[in-house]
Amino acid sequence: MREGVRNFMTGLVAIIALIGLAFLLMSFGELDPLLHPRYKLTLKSDNAAGLRPGGTVEFNGVPVGVVDSVYMEQDPDFPVRIICLIDNTTRIPLDAKPFAATPLIGGSAGLQLQAPTNGENALGHYFPTDDRAEIVGPIRGGMFAQITEQLDQRMKPLSDSLEKFNRLSDTYIALGNNLNNLLQPQSEHDLATGEQPNLRTAVVRLNDALDQAREGLSLAKSFLGDEQMRADARNSVEKAKHLIDLTTTAVEKYTKLAEALQANAEDLTKHLLPVSDSMAATLEDVRRLAKLASEGKGTMGLLLNNPDLYNSLNDTAIRLERTLVQIQVLVEKLKQEGVNIHF
């Protein structure tokens, strides 16, 4: 073989070998740091949640990197370290939360970073891209967590409906209690102690009032249908009218009398003054005589204050009465003997 052909074949084989090596390096991701520059994002967690090196990293559902390594550290709270490589063109907001997305059939878990659109992203606050970015906290997710999340999303309308139904039930229960309170019987003692009348009591009182009104209407109907009762009522009205007329006349007379008395009040006062003076003098004399009698002066005073004189007068009166009796007996005897005696 000529030397030129041999050199050409050697170069061709070398080129093919280099292309194959480059393909292998690209297949194993060894050339990704050169082709896709990335920065390191460290997750400190208490559980790896099924994440493995080489797993994909997604931000809001878009692939943005890979999981580079998973290892343990001496940390009592968050011993698991997960190193992620994120594309330099992707900025992760400070409020991003990690989730582990495990496929339902086979495969390793992938890391999903989720952040609200109106949070730190809207304010422009992102993790640094100089390999100092860290997210500390548990990683949510896993297959059961995803199933639970999906069930929660599917059950949310039903939960809202159940909550509304519970509120409606509470409202109807309160309404039922209020209706029971309104329709509960009340005793006179309850009303006397200050309890407010409820609907049942009001209805009972209304029925009583209607019964009384019905009874009154019945009496009025019987009255209007009885001719004698109507005649008696007319007579009573006539008598009442006559009595009112007499009363009016009497009031007019008394009014005139009061006016006359008021007009003659001065003359009457003049006539009564001398009489009052005489009565005053008489009362003074009586008072003076009573004073003398109480002091034992005069005949009246002796009678009041000397019991011997009173006894003597009493004894004399008794003897005089006996003498008069004897004289009367003697006169009766003389009349019986026929002697006429004239006084």
Find the angle CA(157)-CA(163)-CA(164) to the nearest 5 degrees: 90
Higher pLDDT, residue 189 or 302: 189
- Name the residue with higher pLDDT: 136 or 144: 136
Take residue 169 and report the two structure tokens written for it. 């039930």
Judged against a pLDDT cut of 70, whether residue 177 lies above it is answered with yes
- Percent of the chain exceeding pLDDT 90 equals 6
Check residue 262 and give its pLDDT: 59
Provide DSSP, 180-248: HHHHS---HHHHHTTPPP-HHHHHHHHHHHHHHHHHHHHHHHHHHH-HHHHHHHHHHHHHHHHHHHHHH
DSSP three-state, residue 84: strand
Position of tokens 């994909």? 56
pTM metric for this prediction:
0.38
Instruction: Look at residue 175 in the predicted model and tell me its pLDDT.
Output: 81
Tell me what the mean pLDDT of segment 237-260 comes to: 73
Q: Cβ(60)–Cβ(27) under 8 Å? A: no
- Is 60 exceeded by the pLDDT of residue 61? yes
So what's the pLDDT on residue 84? 92
Query: Which of 19, 42, 22, 18 lies closest to 32 in space, CA to CA?
Result: 22
What is the rounded average pLDDT of the residues 6-31? 76
pLDDT for 211 equals 82
Calculate mean pLDDT across residues 82-110: 83
pLDDT of residue 54 exceeding 80, the answer is: yes
Question: Is the confidence at residue 183, as pLDDT, over 90?
Answer: no
Tokens standing for residue 263: 């007009």
pLDDT band at 158 (very low <50, low <70, confident <90, very high): confident
pLDDT of residue 70: 92
What pLDDT is recorded for position 167?
86
Q: What is the pLDDT of residues 284-327, one digit of tens each?
A: 766 676 666 566 555 555 555 656 656 666 677 777 777 777 77
Q: Position of tokens 């052909």?
A: 5
Name the pLDDT band for 42 (thresholds 50, 70, 90). Answer: very high
- Most confident by average pLDDT, 21-35, 54-68, 164-178: 54-68
Strand order in the sheet with 133-136: 133-136, 38-45, 80-87, 62-72, 56-59, 110-114, 97-101, 140-141
Say if residue 142's pLDDT is above 60.
no
CA separation for the pair 20, 24 (Å, rounded): 6
Q: Are 63 and 38 in contact (CB under 8 A)?
A: no
pLDDT at 106: 58
Of 122 and 130, the one with more pLDDT: 130
- CA–CA separation, 321 and 18 (whole Å): 189
Residue 161 pLDDT > 80: yes
Q: For the chain, what's the residue count?
A: 343
Place of tokens 């409202």: 171
- Residue 169: what pLDDT? 83
How far is it, in rounded angstroms, from Cα 302 to Cα 336? 46
